[in-house]
């Protein structure tokens, strides 16, 4: 790769060319460093030898058995079930929190009301408390309303993931702030209500941020670890993917499940990574908008 | 309608409503919603009255008992008693946690009721004023209509606000109250416990005590960690973004893709992989040994100093691509003339970075920097999944790499020292708000809002 660069850039003085080459070598080295763990986990998921003790970087034998075991051996750690649990939770969380985030951000960006500033300040102050400080209390509340056992755990997790979505309005609000207000005003003069402005004008103009909000809230339950752990406790049949993978690395399972863990990690990472790469543009734009606003 | 209301914003206050309200308004003090019902807003008035009735019913049936148990938090132990049939059966005792939770919840309900009372008093008086000045009074239908227009924020924000109230504020207050009790596994106070004032705060702050000693060392490490994690990531991520974005770099999107891929993988997956790779028998040690580079395994996560350095370095792996991604857009906003002018004056790459890029970025991203600093103080994932807070000395509850948050997690979830955990949570909040406040006040973007505009 570096060769091509050197002879393509032949106009620049030699010193600059060497500098440029060094920069590319440096970037290549860094990229290797960053991709190494990912390569490692993919190789491990295909490794024929069991156990976490390895002596070489590349496996001695390759197999797809780990994936087969992960998806079919449901006696101890039921990965397909965990996957379905997480999928259901993620879909509902996604719907509720997208609605919450978009409505709160729209109100804060477009409407002026008495509680606007207090609300924003409150969100900032609440954000300074450690997120799961209230976890124990939330658990007791869920227990008090009967959501801490059996299949109700799913409902509990959906509530936990989506209930506080209204506090994460910054990026979407930053985006709405960049839509010219004159559009709204024109519509209102033409007799549109605020609701119509929200649904018929702002929403169609905000596809990027809607996509971003949907994807982030969908990904939340897949990558969260502690909330699920505190709420599921010992109910292994309600585990989400994250806790399932974590428990594969615990002392009692690690020897026979380590390579399956890698397979599971790959399976979970592929969709998440695809979504993330797909939405990184929106993420960058959102950040730039939020900082400007 | 809203405009008329805005013209006289101070005309309607609770004091004036009580002092100058007519009999219909005064009756609303007792029969809530009466002022509305008497002035054509029957639906709204009935709704308010319904709230009052259900509140009174709740208070009589449960609320008063809940409040009365709040000062003592219960005293009845679970006992075996002989029932009439001649068998022993367990008689349920008091459960202080439940009593505390119900008590706190009742306090919130009372507060909400008082708020509703004030609002309906003002509303009743407002209707009186409007009637006296013969202004239009909204019918229920018009009120509902306005919920989708002028008052859309009420419709849209109600459920998000309720969510925050029930799943953030109430639990938080509940946790904070725990800090003033002896709810802990120590001395077996898991079922019955009492208020004990500021004792827990004293224990945590007292540097000579066991808990206090750990608290100060954890706090010190938390601050060191947050400073390193924030600023190293910030500077190095920015340099990486600059290198990728410079004019002569080829395959820009390929390089960006490489780094983005590493954060696209869920964090808990990559951190758990790192955790296993860095063990004494983990891949890195074994491979280094097989290559003959080291004779004995390196104590990546076993020695306190090694563990701390390892964690900061691994966090660079996690954080640099994030910063790169975030600052890329902002870097392109830097006015090109600044660079041109600097180049004309013969400034080198480093001078430009130090004198233009860095100040500009610091100025623009100060709020982001504060968020990422507080985020790092609360960075649970990296520490818990990577080192689990270890290594831990015998007799301690906090490991050498524990942050306040991971220690809080251990204390509450694993050790069940709920009261100390709650104090740690409050302390974390205090540390965070002080740093956020001080840095925000001193940041250039707060002092001089238009320096770069």
pLDDT of res. B10: 52
Interface test with A, best of B13, B152, B256 (most A CBs within 10 A): B152
Residue with tokens 């609360």: B378
**β-bridge partners, B396:** none
How many domains are contained in chain B?
Answer: 2
Residue range A262-272: mean pLDDT, rounded: 88
Query: Integer distance in angstroms from the first to the last C-alpha of chain B?
Result: 40
Residue B191: inside a domain, yes or no? no
User: pLDDT by residue for chain B (453 residues), tens digit each?
Assistant: 444 444 444 567 888 888 888 888 888 888 888 888 888 888 888 999 999 999 999 999 989 998 988 888 878 777 777 777 777 777 777 888 888 989 999 999 999 999 999 998 988 888 888 888 888 888 888 888 888 888 888 889 999 999 999 888 999 999 899 899 988 888 788 888 888 888 889 988 988 888 888 999 999 999 999 999 999 999 899 889 888 888 788 888 888 888 888 887 888 888 888 888 888 888 888 888 888 888 888 888 888 889 999 999 999 998 898 888 878 777 777 777 888 888 888 888 888 888 888 888 887 777 778 778 888 888 888 898 888 887 888 777 888 889 988 998 888 888 888 889 899 989 888 888 888 777 767 665 555 544 554
Residue from A160, A13, A191, A151 nearest A93 by CA: A160
Which tens digit of pLDDT belongs to each residue from A18-56? 888 898 999 999 999 898 888 888 888 888 887 777 777
Contact (Cβ atoms closer than 8 angstroms) between residue B238 and residue B248: no
Q: Based on the fold, state whether residues A174 and A232 are members of the same structural domain.
A: yes
pLDDT of res. A289: 56
Residue A52: inside a domain, yes or no? no
Give the separation between CA A46 and CA A65, rounded to whole angstroms: 8
Give the separation between CA B32 and CA B48, rounded to whole angstroms: 6
- The CATH number of the domain holding residue B422 is 1.10.3720.10
Residue from B217, B183, B224 nearest B200 by CA: B183
Write down which residue in B110, B145, B178 finishes a domain: B178
Give the separation between CA A233 and CA A253, rounded to whole angstroms: 18
pLDDT of res. B54: 94
Residue A63: inside a domain, yes or no? no
Residue A99: inside a domain, yes or no? yes
Residue with tokens 């919130």: B108
Q: Based on the fold, state whether residues A31 and A82 are members of the same structural domain.
A: no
pLDDT of res. B357: 83
Contact (Cβ atoms closer than 8 angstroms) between residue A145 and residue B145: no
Q: Based on the fold, state whether residues B151 and B235 are members of the same structural domain.
A: no
Q: Based on the fold, state whether residues A181 and A280 are members of the same structural domain.
A: yes
Give the separation between CA B226 and CA B376, rounded to whole angstroms: 5
pLDDT of res. A2: 43
Put simply, the answer to whether A276 touches B429 (Cβ < 8 Å) is: no
Nearest to B266 among A127, A269, A277 (CB): A269
Residue B190: inside a domain, yes or no? no
Which tens digit of pLDDT belongs to each residue from A89-123? 999 999 999 999 999 999 998 888 888 888 988 88
Put simply, the answer to whether B172 touches A129 (Cβ < 8 Å) is: yes
Considering only residues 302 to 331 of chain B, which have any Cβ-Cβ distance to chain A shorter than 8 Å? 317, 321, 325-326, 328-330
Residue B173: inside a domain, yes or no? yes
Q: Based on the fold, state whether residues A284 and A167 are members of the same structural domain.
A: yes
DSSP letter, residue A109: H
pLDDT of res. A285: 66
Enclosing domain of residue B104: 2-178
Residue B194: inside a domain, yes or no? no
Under 8 Å CB-to-CB from A226, ≥6 apart: which residues? A132, A135, B380, B384, B409
Contact (Cβ atoms closer than 8 angstroms) between residue B420 and residue B203: yes
Q: Based on the fold, state whether residues A80 and A142 are members of the same structural domain.
A: yes
Put simply, the answer to whether B286 touches A54 (Cβ < 8 Å) is: yes
Buried b (16+ CB within 10 A) or exposed e, A259-286: bbbbbbbbbbbeebbebbeebbebbbbb
Whether residue A136 has pLDDT greater than 80? no
Structure tokens at A70: 């992960």
C-alpha count within 13 angstroms, C-beta hemisphere, residue A203 = 12
In chain A, what residues touch B373 (CB-CB under 8 Å)?
Answer: none
Residue B211: inside a domain, yes or no? yes
Q: Based on the fold, state whether residues B301 and B439 are members of the same structural domain.
A: yes
Write down which residue in B178, B208, B227 finishes a domain: B178
Q: Is A149 helix (H, G, I), strand (E, B) or coil?
A: coil
Nearest to A230 among B240, B279, B413 (CB): B413
Question: How close, in Å, is residue B379 to chain A by CA atoms?
Answer: 9
Whether residue A148 has pLDDT greater than 70? yes
Contact (Cβ atoms closer than 8 angstroms) between residue A201 and residue A184: yes
Residue from A100, A47, A25, A271 nearest B157 by CA: A100
Q: Based on the fold, state whether residues A138 and A32 are members of the same structural domain.
A: no
Phi, psi of B198 (to 5 degrees): -95, 15
Nearest to A20 among B248, B263, B265 (CB): B248
Q: Based on the fold, state whether residues B7 and B75 are members of the same structural domain.
A: yes
Contact (Cβ atoms closer than 8 angstroms) between residue A142 and residue A231: yes
Contact (Cβ atoms closer than 8 angstroms) between residue A149 and residue A156: no
Distance of CA B89 to the CA centre of its chain: 44
The total of other beta-carbon atoms located within 10 Å of residue B80's CB is 9
Whether residue A5 has pLDDT greater than 50? no
In chain B, what residues touch A276 (CB-CB under 8 Å)?
Answer: 260, 263-264
Residue A51: inside a domain, yes or no? no
Whether residue A7 has pLDDT greater than 50? no
Structure tokens at B325: 């991604």
Residue from A218, A214, A96 nearest B167 by CA: A96
The total of other beta-carbon atoms located within 10 Å of residue B181's CB is 22
Question: How close, in Å, is residue A75 to chain B by CA atoms?
Answer: 23
- The CATH number of the domain holding residue A193 is 1.10.3720.10
Put simply, the answer to whether B163 touches A126 (Cβ < 8 Å) is: no
**β-bridge partners, A62:** A47
Residue B428: inside a domain, yes or no? yes
pLDDT of res. B159: 92
Residue from B16, B15, B34, B14 nearest B24 by CA: B34
Put simply, the answer to whether A163 touches B333 (Cβ < 8 Å) is: no
Write a three-state SS string for chain B.
Answer: CHHHHHHCCCCCCHHHHHHHCCHHHHHHCCCCCHHHHCCCCHHHHHHHHHHHHHHHHHHHHHHHHHHHHCCCCCCCCCEEEECCCCCEEEECCCCHHHHHHHHHHHHHHHHHHHHHHHHHHHHHHHHHHHHHCCCCCCCHHHHHHHCCCCCHHHHHHHHHHHHHHHHHHHHHHHHHHHCCECCCCHHHCCCCCCECCCHHHHHHHCCCCHHHHHHHHHHHHHHHHHHHHHHHHHHHHHHHHHHHHCCCCCCHHHHHHHHHHHHHCCHHHHHHHHHHHCCCCCHHHHHHHHCCCCCCCCCCCCCHHHHHHHHHHHHHHHHHHHHHHHHHHHHCCCCHHHHHHHHHCCCCHHHHHHHHHHHHHHHHHHHHHHHHHHHHHCCHHHHHHHCCCCCCCCCCCCCCCCCHHHHHHHHHHHCCCHHHHHHHHHHHHHHHHHHHHHHHHHCHHHHCCCCCC
Q: Based on the fold, state whether residues B114 and B213 are members of the same structural domain.
A: no
Residue A127: inside a domain, yes or no? yes
Q: Based on the fold, state whether residues B310 and B368 are members of the same structural domain.
A: yes
In chain B, what residues touch A34 (CB-CB under 8 Å)?
Answer: 258-259, 261-262, 317, 321
Interface test with B, best of A11, A107, A137, A146 (most B CBs within 10 A): A137
Enclosing domain of residue A253: 68-292
pLDDT of res. B447: 55
CA dihedral of residues B144, B148, B154, B155 (deg, nearest 10): 90
Please say whether the dihedral angle defined by the alpha carbons of residues B309, B315, B320 and B321, taken in this order, is positive or negative.
positive
Q: Based on the fold, state whether residues B155 and B273 are members of the same structural domain.
A: no
pLDDT of res. B211: 87
Contact (Cβ atoms closer than 8 angstroms) between residue A293 and residue A177: yes
Put simply, the answer to whether B166 touches A113 (Cβ < 8 Å) is: no
| Confidence grade of residue A209 (pLDDT, cut at 50, 70, 90) | confident
- Residue length of chain B: 453
How many domains are contained in chain A?
Answer: 2
Put simply, the answer to whether B149 touches A194 (Cβ < 8 Å) is: yes
In chain B, what residues touch A280 (CB-CB under 8 Å)?
Answer: 260, 325
Q: Based on the fold, state whether residues A128 and A41 are members of the same structural domain.
A: no
Put simply, the answer to whether A166 touches B172 (Cβ < 8 Å) is: no
């Amino acid at each position: 790769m570096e060769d091509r660069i050197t002879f393509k850039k032949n106009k620049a003085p030699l010193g600059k060319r060497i500098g440029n080459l060094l920069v590319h070598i440096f970037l290549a080295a860094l990229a290797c460093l960053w991709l190494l763990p990912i390569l490692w986990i993919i190789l491990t998921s295909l490794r024929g030898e069991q156990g976490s003790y390895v002596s070489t970087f590349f496996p001695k034998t390759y197999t797809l058995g780990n994936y087969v075991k992960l998806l079919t051996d449901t006696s101890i750690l039921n990965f397909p079930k965990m996957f379905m649990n997480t999928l259901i939770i993620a879909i509902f969380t996604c719907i509720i929190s997208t609605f919450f985030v978009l409505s709160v951000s729209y109100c804060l960006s477009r409407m002026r009301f008495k509680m606007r500033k207090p609300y924003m300040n409150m969100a900032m102050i609440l954000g300074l408390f450690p997120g799961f400080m209230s976890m124990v209390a939330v658990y007791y509340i869920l227990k008090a309303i009967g959501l801490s056992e059996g299949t109700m755990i799913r409902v509990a997790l959906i509530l936990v993931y989506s209930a506080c979505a209204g506090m994460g309005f910054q990026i979407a609000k930053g985006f709405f702030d960049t839509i010219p207000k004159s559009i709204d005003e024109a519509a209102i003069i033409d007799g549109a209500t605020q609701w119509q402005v929200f649904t018929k004008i702002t929403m169609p103009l905000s596809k990027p941020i809607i996509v971003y909000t949907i994807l982030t809230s969908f990904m939340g339950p897949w990558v969260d670890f502690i909330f699920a752990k505190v709420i599921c406790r010992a109910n292994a049949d309600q585990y989400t993917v994250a806790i399932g993978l974590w428990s594969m690395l615990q002392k009692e399972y690690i020897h026979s499940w380590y390579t399956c863990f890698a397979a599971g990690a790959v399976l979970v990472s592929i969709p998440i990574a695809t979504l993330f790469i797909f939405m990184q543009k929106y993420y960058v734009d959102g950040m730039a908008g939020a900082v400007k606003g | 309608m809203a405009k008329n209301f805005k013209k006289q914003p101070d005309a309607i206050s609770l004091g004036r409503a009580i002092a100058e309200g007519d009999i219909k308004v005064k009756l609303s003090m007792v029969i809530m919603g009466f002022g509305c019902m008497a002035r054509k807003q029957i639906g709204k008035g009935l709704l308010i009255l319904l709230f009052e009735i259900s509140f009174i019913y709740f208070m009589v049936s449960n609320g008063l008992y809940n409040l009365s148990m709040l000062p003592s938090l219960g005293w009845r132990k679970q006992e075996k008693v002989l029932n009439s049939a001649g068998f022993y059966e367990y008689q349920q005792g008091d459960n202080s946690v439940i009593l505390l939770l119900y008590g706190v919840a009742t306090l919130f309900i009372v507060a909400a009721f008082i708020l509703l009372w004030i609002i309906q008093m003002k509303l009743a008086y407002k209707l009186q004023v409007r009637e006296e000045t013969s202004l239009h009074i909204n019918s229920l239908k018009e009120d509902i209509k306005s919920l989708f227009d002028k008052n859309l924020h009420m419709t849209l924000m109600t459920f998000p606000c309720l969510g925050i109230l029930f799943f953030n504020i109430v639990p938080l207050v509940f946790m904070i109250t725990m800090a003033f009790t002896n709810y802990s596994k120590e001395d077996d106070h898991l079922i019955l416990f009492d208020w004990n004032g500021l004792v827990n705060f004293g224990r945590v702050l007292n540097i000579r005590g066991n808990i206090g000693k750990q608290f100060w060392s954890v706090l010190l490490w938390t601050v060191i960690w947050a400073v390193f994690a924030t600023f190293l990531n910030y500077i190095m991520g920015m340099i990486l973004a600059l290198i990728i974005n410079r004019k002569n770099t080829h395959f820009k999107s390929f390089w960006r893709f490489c780094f983005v891929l590493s954060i696209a993988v869920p964090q808990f997956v990559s951190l758990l992989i790192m955790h296993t790779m860095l063990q004494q028998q983990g891949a890195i040690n074994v491979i280094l040994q097989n290559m003959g580079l080291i004779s004995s395994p390196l104590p990546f996560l076993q020695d306190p100093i090694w563990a701390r350095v390892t964690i900061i370095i691994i966090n660079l792996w996690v954080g640099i691509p994030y910063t790169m991604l975030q600052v890329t857009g902002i870097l392109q906003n830097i006015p090109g003339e600044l660079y041109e002018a600097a180049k004309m004056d013969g400034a080198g790459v480093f001078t430009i970075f130090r004198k233009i890029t860095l100040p500009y970025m610091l100025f623009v991203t100060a709020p982001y920097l504060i968020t990422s600093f507080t985020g790092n103080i609360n960075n649970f994932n990296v520490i818990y999944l990577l080192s689990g807070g270890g290594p831990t000395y015998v007799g301690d509850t906090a490991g050498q790499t524990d942050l306040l948050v991971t220690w809080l997690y251990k204390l509450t979830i694993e050790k069940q020292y709920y009261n100390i955990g709650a104090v740690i949570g409050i302390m974390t909040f205090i540390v965070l708000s002080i740093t956020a406040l001080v840095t925000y006040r001193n940041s250039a973007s707060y002092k001089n809002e238009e320096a770069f505009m």
